[in-house]
Every structure is written in C-alpha cells, then in structure tokens.
Structure 1
Amino acid sequence: MTYAKDSTGPFYHGTRADLAPGDLLAPGNRSNYADRTLSWIYFSGTLDAATWGCELAKGEGRERIYIVEPTGAFEDDPNLTDRKFPGNPTESYRSREPLRIVGEVESWEPHPPERLAEMKAFLARLDAEGGPEIID
C-alpha cells in the first residue's frame, strides 16, 4: 500500500460514535452505510465528505466529525475515486491502519434536509437490492 498523492491533511471522519482525542478508529467495524464489516477505515480531506459520513451513519448517537491522523499508509478510496469522482476531488481515502482522533469539528454545516432525504432514499433502494457494492 502507498500513501495517496498530495494528501497532507487535515483529515476527517464522520460518524455517530462517541470518541475522545487519543482514541483509535480501526478497520474491522461495521460500515456506516451497509450491513457488513469492513477491512478498511475510511476518511476524507474534505468536511463535505465527512459531513455525509456522519449524516448517513447508522445508529442513534450524535452526528460527529472528528479530525484524525492516519497511523500508517493509506490510499485513495476506490469506491469513489474509480467510480464516481475520477481524480479524487472528494479527497476520500482508506487505510488498514488505525486513525488517531486528534480533535472534533465543533461547528459544521449540514446538508439541506431535502438533499439528505434524497441520499437516504437512494441508499434504502440500494439496500433493498442487496446493499451497496463496496470494494473491500
């Protein structure tokens, strides 16, 4: 695995998990979007992508965006960069090594309710058809 090109951070991870600085986010947990365990941990260099992460995360916890630092090598997320956004404008990455929580973004702009509803409906359709395909 190699480091993604031109990716120096800051990096973000959107979730509903209640974490603190110093905690580690590790691969091997359930996906935010699909009912399966993933062998990668995903993160982004943009607040917008992290916002989607926390807004779409399953669970009842408060939506949170953490500032994270990779503890090892990482690569472009092929689920987005190879399929939807060539060139990785969303700065979406994944790693098999943990991410260290270094802080939390206290104030961020949510997506408009109608746009969020559209995305949730899209994911529900994918789920009804067997779930979103995730390159793991």
Structure 2
Amino acid sequence: MSNKFDPKNKIIRLCMLGMGMEEQGNSEEASEVFLQAWNEAINDFERFIAAYHVAKYKKDISERLKWMETSLQYAIKSKDDSVKSAFPTIYLSISKCYEELGDYNKAKTNYELSNSYNTEPYDKGPFYHGTRADLKVGDLLVAGRNSNYNCELKMNHIYFTSNINGAGLAAALAKGEGRERVYVVEPTGTFENDPNVTDKKFPGNLTCSYRSQYPLRIVGEKTDWVKQTPKEVNQWRKKLANNKGEIIN
C-alpha cells in the first residue's frame, strides 16, 4: 500500500491554504489557489485532490459537476488504496449535482454507486501508533487515556494509522517528556475510520487514520519516519489550539 498523503506535499498545502481563505470569506482568492493546485499537480493522486477542491467551491452546478467528475476520473486512475475511501463521497457529490440539475436518473445511479462502496476499512497495514511512552513488544495500548488535544477528555478509542509519517507527527505532538516513538501495532479487534478526519477537509480517509475500542498490541518499533522540525511542530500545535471543532469520541 502506498501512502501518498503528506501534509508537506505542495498540492495538499495549496488546498489547505485555499480552504483557510474560504473559511475567512475570501472565496475568489481561494478559487485561484485551488486552480493553481490543479495547474501544478503532476500525478493522478494530486489531480484528484486538486479537482475535488476546485469542484467543491464552484457555485455553478454544471461547473461543479464537471470538476467533480474530473476528480473521480483521476481518483480511479491513481490506483492508490487510500483513495478508495473517497469514492462514496465523490459519487454522492456527483449525485447531488445531477439532482440539482434535474437529471434524477443519473442522480439515482450515482447515489447507488456511492452506497455500493463498503465504507469499512480495507487497510491491511502495517499499522503504527505514535507516542512518547516507553513501551516494549507485547505491551497493549488501550483506550481510556486522556486526549493529547483536550486534556479533560478521556478517549473511548485508541488511534492508529498505516501512514508512518502521520504516526510520527502524532508522536511529536504527544504529551510527555520522553522521546518520540513510533510503534508497529496490531489491532486485536475490529476498527473503523477515524471520524475526526474522514470526510472533513479531504474526501474519504486519505490519511489512513483509524480507531478501535479494542487494544493494540505492540509488535515492533520504527525509527525511519520523516521527522517534523521544531518550527513545524509549533505550527501544528497552534493549528490544533485554534481548532474549534469538537472531538468525535
């Protein structure tokens, strides 16, 4: 499985910048940034993400439909496993466009296509968990600890990912004084897409983030992830501190 979602990726950063502009009410500037992302995208994965964001903020329904179908075309071509999680969202968006245009047959077809995709995680791993805790192979990571992002919240799930750099970022942001650690973990029970990131800023679960109410068993440790600079970690901390969204627990 390839994990192409990288917050440092130029196209993803442009889309994040555009979303920030849109949230501040600067729609025209945001549209220009999304088009810049589209024009500078160099592979199918980047084109899928850029086209999706161009589409999402189009006021004209026919234009939105054209761009959303373009996003779907590149999502299919990308053959990236993580993109499969975005298909239900894209087909549903296409269905709504056809509905608004009065083409109820095509709306129904795309709605059925959206529902035909199994939203259960298909990911086979390997999986990782980032923390500062000093643990050993065989130890179990369990739910019920306080959130790294809201110290008053006791988490009902344990979180993990198949994106090693995402786990590395979680380790950098974790509470505690220990060194950043990324453990290889095995879920001991069923798990689901993390609703805190799935279908939020990006379609589907491109960050390959999951959660489970069952423990995770540590089976190893990795040291070869891309580490964030102190400046980048501080930027992420500020972003999280300013995030007014409620944690879905």
Q: TM-score range by the shorter chain?
A: 0.7 to 0.9
State whether structure 2 residue 180 is matched by structure 1 residue 63: yes
State whether structure 2 residue 134 is matched by structure 1 residue 18: yes
Percent identical among aligned pairs is 53
Maintained 8 Å contact 2:165/2:225: no
1:54 aligned counterpart, secondary structure: helix
The amino acid across from 1:67 in the alignment is: V
Aligned residue in 2 for 1:46: 163
Segments of structure 2 that go 5 or more residues without pairing to the other structure are 1-117
Equivalent of 2:144 in 28, 40, 45 = 28
More strand by share: 1
Which residues in structure 2 correspond to 1:1-136 (within 5 Å)?
4-35=120-151, 36-126=153-243, 133-136=246-249
> Aligned partners of 1:101 and 1:43: how far apart in 2?
12
Shift of 1:82: 2.8
Change (3 A) 1:3 1:32: farther
Segments of structure 1 that go 5 or more residues without pairing to the other structure are none
> Aligned partners of 1:22 and 1:4: how far apart in 2?
27
Tell me the TM-score normalised to structure 1 length.
0.88
Maintained 8 Å contact 1:3/1:73: no
Superposition CA RMSD, Å: 1.9
Question: How many residues are matched?
Answer: 131
> Greater relative contact order (Cα 8 A, min sep 6): structure 1 or 2?
1
Q: Deviations over 1:68-126 (max 9, x none)?
A: 00000000000001323322111000000000000000232212333222111122334
> Aligned partners of 1:28 and 1:52: how far apart in 2?
21
> Aligned partners of 1:4 and 1:85: how far apart in 2?
18
> Aligned partners of 1:53 and 1:64: how far apart in 2?
9
The amino acid across from 1:78 in the alignment is: P
> Aligned partners of 1:15 and 1:32: how far apart in 2?
10
Return structure 1 stretches of 4+ with deviation > 4 angstroms: none
The amino acid across from 2:248 in the alignment is: I
- Structure of larger gyration radius: 2
The amino acid across from 1:15 in the alignment is: T
1:79 aligned counterpart, secondary structure: coil
